[in-house]
Amino acid sequence: MGYSGVGGFFDVKIMASQKNILVAGAGAAGLTAALFAARSGARVLLAEAAHLPGRKISASGNGRCNLSNTGLSPERYHGAPALAATAFTGFGAEQALAFFTGLGVSLREEDQGRIFPSCGRSRAVLDALLLAVSESGVSIALDSPVSLVRPQSGRFLCRYGGAEEVFDSVVLACGSCAYPQLGGGNSGYELARSLGHAVTPLSPALVPLCVKEKSIKRLKGIRAQAELTASLAGKTLSSSSGELLFTEYGLSGPCALAVSREAVKAMSGGPVTLHINLFPEICDDPFKRLIEARVHSFPSRKMKEFLAGLLHESIINLACDRLGSPAEKPVSDLSSGDFKSLISMLRDWRLELAGPLSWREAMVCAGGVCAEGIDPSTMGSLKVSGIYFCGELLDVDGDSGGFNLHFAWASGRQAGLAAAGR
């Protein structure tokens, strides 16, 4: 499905207020906040710590920018539900489509409701935002980390780069500590704490998983359609089906990223087990019948030949090594216990989670500025009037599929409008 044309999303330009606003961070949330604030009549300075704005936008979706999803719903968000609701009430997928087509970006919907720019380039999204921001009169200061926001007589003394200036309102859009190579860091949390806000525990999410079993590296580079489930003390934490990528250290690919949030967070409560079902499309009984039928057809084959055609040969070799001596016998000689071990290896292969790969590989952060101190209808601080928050700095993270960028746009819009006094 395609969406194009320039819409009239910003029909009204209200010049009544001339508030002086500082937006800290020129990522997805900060650019959107700056744009909505400026188009509402505020004077906006957008201060960015790095040399370039929007680096995560450029890298997103493997360079294609999966910017929203038509399937927005509460279940796709984690952390503080009250703040996450910003993502699907007031500025849902339809409004995001209207916003970006209004900026001149032609969009298309792909599988699972994922929205991308039609040209397949994330740069198109960033360029459109930067053009709109510049056309609306926002000043951008690059290489200018915001290092101080101090309340002063109802306004804020702020330091950015080498400059100090007083602003009426401040929008904190500094992002999270995930992916430090693209600007992730702790300064947003520090600024929030300096203003009296609490930060919930931070842990990497949408991150590849390391496992304790060293032999996994023999499967490096192999992809399988599988179901991955994480459990703690026999209780399921999270489950996902789809492509699983075996790596030198453990598991990656959409399946592993999807379960990573809950699996990593649960590690503080004890050892987390990852269960791989290599035949997710078929239920237990039909699977047993499939194995029995193969025994009937190939009774003299040893395990390696018996499984040939069902799985990648490297997975078969590893399975045989794990089975030990029974793998050397003709399958018709195997005991029912041997078959049980084989079936559980193929349908419930258990690996112990060693931990997330690293913050450098975590696409988002679970945890952030606590919802308690924030008015979800404005993204404004309940502790210090005139301070606003948006984007991944907050205690909200979404599933993979465009949900995180959508939250950045939605919360940025809300913070920008409220900061400008609309």
Ligand X SMILES: Cc1cc2nc3c(=O)[nH]c(=O)nc-3n(C[C@H](O)[C@H](O)[C@H](O)COP(=O)(O)OP(=O)(O)OC[C@H]3O[C@@H](n4cnc5c(N)ncnc54)[C@H](O)[C@@H]3O)c2cc1C
Q: Which residues of the chain form contacts with ligand X (CB under 6 A)?
A: 24-30, 47-50, 55-56, 59-61, 65-66, 145-146, 173-175, 179, 182-183, 185, 187-188, 363-364, 391-393, 402-405, 408
CB nearer to ligand X: pick between 345 and 365: 365
In angstroms, what is the minimal distance from the CB of 145 to ligand X? Answer: 4
DSSP per-residue string spanning 135-202: HTT-EEESS--EEEEEEETTEEEEEETTEEEEESEEEE----SS-GGGT--SHHHHHHHHTT--BPPP
How many whole angstroms from its chain centre is CA 80?
Answer: 15
CB nearer to ligand X: pick between 255 and 278: 255
CA-to-CA dists, residue 163 to 45, 150, 200, angstroms: 12, 14, 31
In angstroms, what is the minimal distance from the CB of 59 to ligand X? Answer: 4
CB nearer to ligand X: pick between 29 and 307: 29
CA-to-CA dists, residue 5 to 64, 166, 364, angstroms: 20, 40, 32
In angstroms, what is the minimal distance from the CB of 334 to ligand X? Answer: 46
CB nearer to ligand X: pick between 80 and 364: 364
In angstroms, what is the minimal distance from the CB of 175 to ligand X? Answer: 3
For ligand X, which residue has the nearest CB?
27
Q: Which two tokens stand for residue 81?
A: 């539900």
Cα R_g (the chain), whole angstroms? 25
Helix (H, G, I), strand (E, B) or coil at 114: strand
CB nearer to ligand X: pick between 326 and 391: 391
In angstroms, what is the minimal distance from the CB of 224 to ligand X? Answer: 23
CB nearer to ligand X: pick between 117 and 188: 188
In angstroms, what is the minimal distance from the CB of 346 to ligand X? Answer: 33
Burial 354-376 (b: 16+ CB within 10 A, else e): bbbbebebbbbbbbbbbbebbeb
Strands (E), 271-363: 272-277, 349-356
CB nearer to ligand X: pick between 69 and 229: 69
Q: Which DSSP category does 283 fall into?
A: -
CA-to-CA dists, residue 178 to 175, 189, 386, angstroms: 8, 12, 27
In angstroms, what is the minimal distance from the CB of 396 to ligand X? Answer: 9
